[in-house]
Amino acid sequence: MIVTENDERFLQNHTEDISPSTKKTAEGKITSMMKQVDSAKSAEKMAEAPVQTQVRGFTINFAECEVIFENLSAHAIQNTQNERSSNSVSYLKDAGDLFEINLQVIGLEDVKVEERTFTRLSVKDGEDEFLLNDFGKFISPWSVLTGNENQFVSLGSNSLQFFPVDNAKIKKALDRELRKAKKSRKEIQQWMTTIKKINVYSDSPCTLKLVSAQWRIKGKKDGKNVQKLIQFDIPD
């Protein structure tokens, strides 16, 4: 299915062109295509849904503005955090989904919202899952979110990214985790068989796990530039 949109208000997600390029890795091509899918879905969602007077959900009360995340609940990581006097705040998510979440900015003009994600790679087979700690955490570039009248739609799961990896690197990282878990030689061999056809991080049974997301809010208040940084971490 091809989704088209002519209204420039809904064409704000910045993604790479998906035309073939010999310089792009397989991961890069896949990521670019999936981000295009998310961008189209966000534009369609904003076009079809009526703009609400006010989004209901988790509210951050900065001195200059309010930022509301729909249907989300969370709590501050630091008890001493003061939203009124801070430009950067952090929370731990309690309930809700960070993918394609609606958010609203109240009190600012000329608002622009960007998001980036923090992901880790795991291998999952049935109920068993192993986080590949050797690869660490991938921080994506900032993406400009689709918006309409200071309401925005966050990135979807298709926009998750990771480091370029190959079969050999995944096998080595998984082998390390299996040995730490004291798995038998037979169990290790079964896992190696399970992942033998993996070539990129998007191949099953690899799974990208969102562990944190950040939103950068830019706008103006009484003619002065305002910038806020909001982070939500996802508990293990």
- For 47-58, the pLDDT digits (tens) are 555 555 678 999
pLDDT of residue 138 exceeding 60: yes
**Residue in 146, 105, 114 with CA at minimum distance from that of residue 8:** 146
Token output for 139: 């921080």
pLDDT of residue 113 exceeding 70: yes
Token output for 72: 């989300």
Task: Report how far residue 167's alpha carbon sits from residue 170's, in angstroms, rounded to the nearest whole number.
Answer: 5
Collapsed DSSP state (helix, strand, coil) of residue 220: strand
> Helix axis angle, 185-194 relative to 167-180, nearest 10°?
150
Task: Report how far residue 179's alpha carbon sits from residue 172's, in angstroms, rounded to the nearest whole number.
Answer: 11
E strand or H helix at 105: strand 102-106
Token output for 82: 């003061």
Q: 174 with 164: CB under 8 angstroms?
A: no
Phi-psi region of 163 (alpha: psi -120 to 50; beta: other; left: phi over 0): beta
- Summarize the confidence of residues 11-17 as an average pLDDT: 39
pLDDT of residue 145 exceeding 60: yes
Q: pLDDT exceeding 70 applies to what percent of the chain?
A: 78
The larger pLDDT score, comparing residue 87 to residue 45, is at: 87
Lowest mean pLDDT among 18-22, 178-182, 223-227: 18-22
The larger pLDDT score, comparing residue 24 to residue 168, is at: 168
Q: 170 with 198: CB under 8 angstroms?
A: yes
- Enter the pTM of the model: 0.78
β-strands 88-95, 224-233: how paired?
Answer: parallel
- For 164-221, the pLDDT digits (tens) are 999 999 999 999 999 999 999 999 999 999 999 998 999 999 999 999 999 999 999 9
Phi and psi at residue 187, to the nearest 5°: -65, -40
pLDDT of residue 43 exceeding 80: no
Side-chain half-sphere of 99: how many Cα atoms within 13 Å?
Answer: 12
**pLDDT confidence bin for 26, thresholds 50/70/90:** low
pLDDT of residue 10 exceeding 80: no
Distance between first and last Cα of the chain: 36
DSSP 43-93: HHHHHHSPPPSS--EEEEE-SS-EEEEET-EEEESSTT--GGG-SEEEEEE
How many helices (H) and strands (E) would you count in the chain?
A: 3, 13
Collapsed DSSP state (helix, strand, coil) of residue 59: strand
Tell me the β-bridge partners of 221.
224
The larger pLDDT score, comparing residue 236 to residue 86, is at: 86
3-state SS, 110-134, equals EEEEEEEEEEEEEEEECCEEEECHH
